[in-house]
Chains A and B, each alone.
Chain A
Amino acid sequence: MALEAKNVYFRYNKKQPWVLEDCTLHVEKGECLAIFAPSGYGKTTLAMLLSGYHKPTKGQILLENNPLPQNGICPVRLIYQHPEKAVNPCWQMRRVLEESGTLREELLDALGIEPAWLNRFAHELSGGELQRFCVARALLSGADYLICDEISTMLDVITQAQLWNVVLSEAAKRSMGVVAITHNRHLAERIATRVVDLPNMDK
């Protein structure tokens, strides 16, 4: 029961250099893996690959020993670094959440989402408030794995802690696998059961 990357190579097109070379990692269900790397080492690209937004140029992404499904609901959910790009600007937040599943009051409460925010549009919320909605959307969808691509970079320390507490407790309750991508060493050590350094992993 794991999400695996097997000898994954990736480049955006043939003229460009490899972004990722021979990258192998696996996440068990119920585990929280932190991937740590400085800027520009392909953290986001890896997140996109693991959640099926990109296809690896060589190698495979396996979910329970099968390739990731290309159509239908993907059991691996990615939370983006930039929430303002991940929400349709013409939709009220209630609709954004309902796109992935039915609302659960206690989850919204735990994330500190006020009921009034549900009737707002994306540009009427701050980045941190919006990111909570993106987390809520990912958690509501009933995914088995959660890829968090620097989801708390734009938040203050208290909100970061609050957000990660919700994510980790929800993940523990449903025994989800979590991949946390970050360049904050302290955060990585605090939340993860295992920390992987991306620069050491390939090459």
Chain B
Amino acid sequence: MKKHKTAPNRRTKLVIWTSIMALALIAVYILGIFIPDTAVFSSFLNAKQPPSFKHLFGTDALGRDIFLRTLKGMAVSMTVGIAASLISAVIAIIVGIAAATGSKAADAFVNWLIDLVMSVPHTILIILISFALGRGLKGLLIGIAATHWCSLARLIRGEVLQLRAQHYIAVSRRLGKSHGWILTHHLLPHLIPQFFVGLVLMLPHAILHEASISFLGFGLSPEQPAIGIILSESMRYLSAGMWWQAVLPGLVLVLMVLLVEQTGEHLQTILNPYSVQQ
């Protein structure tokens, strides 16, 4: 194969874009973690200032810098989102494979369970679970993790059913390979793209749910700088004309969610074996 010097192909461009987006997300996360608590001190001298170069997003009623607080809030939201979607995705893989390879009864039970969880609105279910577990980070995490695995589990079940019908799986079995060997060598490698794409596409949902549940007051406690808390605090001052408290952190949230979603979709294209030569 000769190498021609040409403009980077679509795949290379996509990989570069995805890396940039992933780097931006990681940068926000790391910034958020490393901003010390002392940086968002309250000072009544600075209270209720509109956006300026000194305070990019302005300050809130307690004089805290909203930009720094938003960054910290995003880090908390992303931690919750990543942890919850990771747990969800692992549940989905296990449940999906169990449904597709187990008995008919197990399959019927899993499908019934998926229907059950999906038929209840997520927000209500998360509120119930979070409330029952005493709110806070733990309740929120378990609540989000317990509600988000369904659609991915269903996808994986379908994928495994389809894979199991493939000739090469049957060939492998007749070559004397065990079920475990076939699972780890033939099935799981095919599920890795599904797993990662499912994980990344679940992340924005998890972040938004975390924000909305905290906004409603059933999630994180008020002193934590979560994005939902910031938004819910800002509601009180919105009628006083302090728009920056709600609009700017809200925009950041939307931007982050869009960024994650785009990364997920790009990842889907990159990991698809049939688009390798594009």
Closest to A53 in B: B170
A80 touching B273 in the complex, CB below 8 Å, given contacts A72-B176, A73-B176, A74-B174? no
Contact, CB under 8 Å: B190 / A78: no
Interface Cβ pair total, 8 Å cutoff: 40
- B168: which of A74, A86, A123, A141 is its contact (CB, 8 Å)? A86
Instruction: Other than A72-B176, A99-B172, A141-B175, give 9 A-B pairs with Cβ distance below 8 A.
Output: A53-B170, A53-B174, A74-B174, A77-B174, A85-B168, A86-B167, A88-B168, A90-B273, A121-B273
Output the least CB separation between B164 and chain A (Å): 13
Is residue A52 contacting chain B, with contact meaning CB distance below 8 A?
Answer: yes
Contact partners of A121 in chain B: CB under 8 A: 273
Is residue A100 contacting chain B, with contact meaning CB distance below 8 A?
Answer: yes
CB neighbors of B among A11-61 (8 A):
51-53
Contact, CB under 8 Å: B167 / A80: yes
Whole-angstrom distance between the alpha carbons of A51 and B176 in the complex? 13
Output the least CB separation between A180 and chain B (Å): 19
CB neighbors of A among B173-214 (8 A):
174-177, 186, 189-190
Contact, CB under 8 Å: B174 / A78: yes
Is residue B240 contacting chain A, with contact meaning CB distance below 8 A?
Answer: no
Contact partners of B274 in chain A: CB under 8 A: 123
Q: Does more than half of chain A's interface fall in helix, strand or loop, or is it mixed?
A: loop
Output the least CB separation between B151 and chain A (Å): 24
Binding site for B on A (CB under 8 A): 51-53, 71-74, 77-78, 80, 82, 85-90, 99-100, 121, 123, 137, 141
Q: Does more than half of chain B's interface fall in helix, strand or loop, or is it mixed?
A: helix
Closest to A141 in B: B175
Contact partners of B177 in chain A: CB under 8 A: 99
8 A–B contacts from the bound complex (CB under 8 Å): A51-B174, A53-B174, A73-B176, A77-B174, A87-B168, A90-B190, A90-B273, A121-B273
Closest 10 interchain pairs by CB? A73-B176, A86-B167, A74-B174, A85-B167, A88-B168, A72-B176, A100-B175, A90-B189, A86-B168, A80-B167
Is residue B171 contacting chain A, with contact meaning CB distance below 8 A?
Answer: yes
Contact partners of A99 in chain B: CB under 8 A: 172, 175, 177
Closest to B172 in A: A99
Contact, CB under 8 Å: B171 / A86: yes
